[in-house]
Structure 1
Amino acid sequence: MATLKHISSKNSDYTAIETYLVYQHDAFTGKPLLDEQGKPKLRDSYLLDTLECGDFSFATACLLANRKYGKNTQHGDIKSHQYIISFDPRDAADNGLTMEKAQALGLKFCEENFPGHPAIVCTHPDGHNHSGNIHVHIVIGSIRTRKVERKPYMQKPRDWREGMKHSSTAQTMRHLRVEVMELCEGAGLYQIDLLNGSKERVSEAEYWARRRGQLKLDRENAALLAAGQQPTQTKFETAKEILRKQITDVLDNATNFEDFSDRLMRQYGIAVKESRGCLSYLPAGRTKFIRAKHLGDKFDKAAVLSTLQANTERKPKAQFKQDTIGKLVDIQAKLKQGKGIGYERWAKKHNLKAMAQTLILLEEKGLTDEDALDQRIAELDTKFHDSLAVVKDLEGRMKVNKELRYQVAAYASTKSVAQQLKAAKRPAAFEEQHRAELTAHRAAAAYFKANDIAKLPSPKKLEAEYAQLASEKAKFYEQYKEAKEELLKLKDAKQNVALFFREDERTQHHER
């Protein structure tokens, strides 16, 4: 699952960000780490490219843009924006993600979404938590240095005109999250629905509070161990983490909202209230409620009521284990192809191991009966094809939506030129001078006519519709992948069982 994070900076020292990307820094203080000679230490591994900087460095290109357009002269002006795409740690092993591939994806993302802005694209192999998550930093100067083609997601002139500043609005972030989801799917990487939030939302401030608290606790525990005492706590938890655990503990057992609120107060002294359709929680010892949105989507009203309803109809969900099983080898067929006795010995050991894995899988799934196995395979095959059909349908609707947004944007941006043509004293000369704009305007008008569109839809509504389609696609794509994975495993298991008994019959016949 790739995540997207945005950071805006008011720092006028544009070299600082490149220094951070290239050299090692202390995770807590942000200060560069020095070697024995007192010089900054380079990072062990990174890839860095610049875009839209010409023959200059990123810092120089940004400073020249500021001077040319007379902007970013005040201390409070946002000088640059940083977007971080962090990939799932599993992508490296499972999907072949490398730093080079991540860098290429980052460059493509930057070119498509931040055209005209001086930019740095830098890939690191790991993050602060050392989980092995390859991630890409995309840093752009806030000023666009050239006019760019208006794209469907661009709603205001500042989004495409030269000399205008980039603005990271809620609409911009929604568009970029959709782009990250599409980027991951196209590259065959793990992904989540970035449009509907996270079950447990950890802010930047809470993340670093957790890191600092853990560091302090580790130091205290080290002192205790040195004194011959055993630490009582090894993992630091923030107040919000503890609150999430307490709410989750109650939520797993409550069956209605009254029961939920009573249990929270009785077990943990937590008060819960509803205001304007939103829940807030007040832990013991606090005077100010904490809104559910600051804890995560799992704790808002809709999710809580949904969980409570599910608890009243509690049904254990079968969990499918992702353990892989090996395929049995047709030993007799391989021997006929010329394989030797060494291969035969290896194949027998391999088949025993693969058959053991197969039996464990079938027993865990309760599919040791052949009819039950066939029925489950048929169900998964139907789910697989149905989910794939929905994904393809949503992709088609997204494509139509994207084309319509493009034509609406083109028509709106060239409408004034078409109106000027009607009042031009020399229409032929005006036509020649504005041929590109008029051609785009007429092409858009022809598109609307061909598709029986009399009234142009709102660009904002089209953008929201596209985001909703992308969200639905992500959901069904996950269903498609899950069904496909289980289906392939069970088909392999069925094939293994059939081949095992066929080999067993061959052995018995040979012995007779």
Structure 2
Amino acid sequence: MATTWMKALHRSGGGVAAALGLRIDYAKDYTKTDDGALIDSYECDPYTAQNEFLFSKRLYAKKTGRDQGKHDVIAYHVRMSFKPGEVTPQRTLELGRELALRWTKGRHQFIVAAHTNTNNPHAHIVFNSVNLYCDRKFADFKHSAIALRRVSDRVCLEHGLSVIEKPGLSKGYNRAEYLRQSKPPTVREQLRDIMDAALAGCKSHDDFLSALLAAGVDIKHGKQLAFKLPGAKKFVRQDTLGDDYSVDAIQERIDGKRIITHKRKTVAPVAASTKPNLLIDIQSKIQQGYGEGFRRWATVQNLKEAAKTLLFLQEHGITDYESLVEQAAEASKTFGAHNDRRKTIEVRLREIAELQKHIGV
């Protein structure tokens, strides 16, 4: 079982070299890596990684002419942490290297180090934001922490390790989203929610105010309307609730002239993982003349597909064969209904097209 965390590294007050050196030196700390025995790297030397990273950045700037200043991402720091007793420090190093290779697709230099200073063994990975050809940078994306976790889960499953079935929100990489979910709604957010609910079925502004009173909201009339939640100490003026909650906006919403979506921001749902492919029939391929190299590749490929299949089944709540049969039957029934609906629509469209042709004549 492994948890993952990722953070982009930016320039500090001391410049690129200082920021990069600080992070790499932390990863290579000899007191935590068995005197340097638990350090590895890819396409660079762990002892000169800082200078090699800096050299690639100079080549990148020369080739592209791009410089983002203080907003420039100079590297990424990834941590892969295991539960106590599940893996050895050497195994942690190997799994960390495999995660780094898959995450960067072998296109970026990195160093990886396994730390043994805590009860739970963990690997620190620092990879260069510039690729090996020095013409592109790593393309980070929203919710990349979720994608990183999925890659880590596959690595763990392929090596016979457990995974976290229902992982919670990250407090690190998605800090803002975590806080939005963990903090209670503000007074204004609560008022907006109540007003959204009160607008349903209202035919006039008086109906709207009556619905607010029925919901326990106190209303103060003056130059601007003000509202107070039950148990609250202060009134909140209507003109501070946002453009969609002004007097004119409320009237437009009652009249159906303004349609809004819910304003509360939530974390986007996790996208379903890539569906697994069919396994390779190794024996039949060998009989067709494929050699030992193909057998080794196909064995690893089948193991990866089996891991993807297990993750796919877990994400869709399929824990036994009966559940699989039930969901397959339901999916088949739904597909049949949609197919019948599509055919009906196509027939109707042909009829309309025929009518239009005659009307045009």
| Higher RCO, Cα 8 Å, sep 6+ | 2
Greater helix fraction, Structure 1 or Structure 2: 1
TM-score, normalised by the number of residues in structure 1: 0.34
Q: Between Structure 1 and Structure 2, which shows a larger proportion of strand residues?
A: 2
Structure 2 length as normaliser, TM-score? 0.46
